[in-house]
Structure 1
Amino acid sequence: MNRPQPNDYHEMVSGYISLVEGNNVLEVIKQQTIDFPDFLNNLIEKADYAYATGKWTIKEMAGHIIDTERILTYRLLCIARGEQSPLPGFEENDYVKQAHFADRSLLSLSEEFSLSRRANLYLYNSLNEQELERRGIAAGRQLTVNALLFTIAGHLIHHTQIIKERYL
């Protein structure tokens, strides 16, 4: 699989895409399926910690990652199947506020990520070259299915780095 080209996505996600090393994004995603839950499971004692007032806790960060992956995967599915209607955006802070992640355990969020990601991998691995190159519109911006895969992987890398830098 080739890396997405700049005309395959909006510059807003270029930072995420740039974090993914190499071209084999499916291997990166597969490895994240194991590594991220293990990472979260080692943070149980800090689950409710936020590094500053008004910032998300580790549980909220994990919930945001799960929500975002679901949304990006929905977009990926729609575009891969040829959907021509523009897909909506979402306001991440509003989603976190409405989700009551603070009422959950980090262990449950870790397990939810793992199960959701494992299910998504079946979809991701089923995509052929034609589907990977399909274009659609989400949040008012044109993008390809391939760019969405790289965004999914890069989004997790980005937030894992933030947790390491600011929470630990």
Structure 2
Amino acid sequence: MYLRPQADEFPVFYKGYIDTVGDDVLVELESQIDSLPKFLSEISEEKACYAYAEGKWTIKEVVGHILDTERIMSYRALRFARQDATALPGFDENDYVKYAHFATRSLQSLVDEFIVLRKSTMYLLKSFNEEELNRSGISNDRPISVRALVYILAGHVNHHQHILKERYL
């Protein structure tokens, strides 16, 4: 079981994500392989194109954003676990969504991609030992630990699933 990251292991921005994660982050990450697709399966293709306000992402775009963020956070975790001291830049999630054409894809294709991507992420995360989890690096000009990135992955999905329930459905 991974120990919960301490406040000095991540930028305060991520606290809300991390706070949504239960006692066993690996179990939660694994359970999301089934729970997020099950949740999304209740949404019609028509509804998946819905945005709750002007300028907000559609449901498909939210799911696409989850995919992009999974890749980026996993990459950061890999780099820092391998003691790569190169500072990594942040990313503008709005530009990523803007240029990704998620609207042209089916919701099911995005769900299928999430399943495969998360399974791949799990192999990576399960390969980390305690020493690697304790490592950290600089991302977006701030220090962050590998352990925090693991919790952020789970919390990010929790966060967006909550927003989808609250504002879209």
Q: Give structure 1 regions of 4+ aligned residues with deviation exceeding 6 angstroms.
A: none
Identity of aligned residues (%): 52
Question: What is the one-letter code of the residue matched to 2:166?
Answer: E
Q: Partner residue of 1:150?
A: 151
Q: Give the C-alpha shift of residue 107 in structure 1.
A: 0.3
Q: In 2, distance between residues paired with 1:66 and 1:152?
A: 10
Q: Partner residue of 2:37?
A: 37
Q: Partner residue of 2:52?
A: 51
Q: Give the C-alpha shift of residue 101 in structure 1.
A: 0.4
Structure 2 spans left out of the alignment, 5+ residues: none
Q: Give the C-alpha shift of residue 44 in structure 1.
A: 2.4
The root-mean-square deviation of aligned C-alpha atoms, in Å, is: 0.7
1:51-110 CA-partner distances (Å, limit 9, x unpaired): 111110000000000001100000000000111010111000000000000100000000
1:126-156 CA-partner distances (Å, limit 9, x unpaired): 1100000001011111011000000110010
Q: Partner residue of 1:9?
A: 10
Q: In 2, distance between residues paired with 1:19 and 1:39?
A: 17
Kindly indicate whether the alpha-carbon contact (under 8 Å) linking 1:44 and 1:107 is maintained by their aligned counterparts in 2: no
Q: In 2, distance between residues paired with 1:74 and 1:38?
A: 26
Which SS does the other structure have where 2:137 is aligned?
Answer: strand
Q: Partner residue of 2:92?
A: 91
Q: In 1, distance between residues paired with 2:147 and 2:34?
A: 22
Q: In 2, distance between residues paired with 1:9 and 1:39?
A: 29
Q: In 1, distance between residues paired with 2:21 and 2:123?
A: 20
Q: Partner residue of 1:162?
A: 163
Kindly indicate whether the alpha-carbon contact (under 8 Å) linking 1:135 and 1:144 is maintained by their aligned counterparts in 2: yes
Q: In 1, distance between residues paired with 2:25 and 2:61?
A: 26
Q: Partner residue of 1:80?
A: 81
Q: Partner residue of 1:27?
A: 27
Q: Partner residue of 2:140?
A: 139
Q: Partner residue of 2:71?
A: 70
Q: In 2, distance between residues paired with 1:154 and 1:79?
A: 20
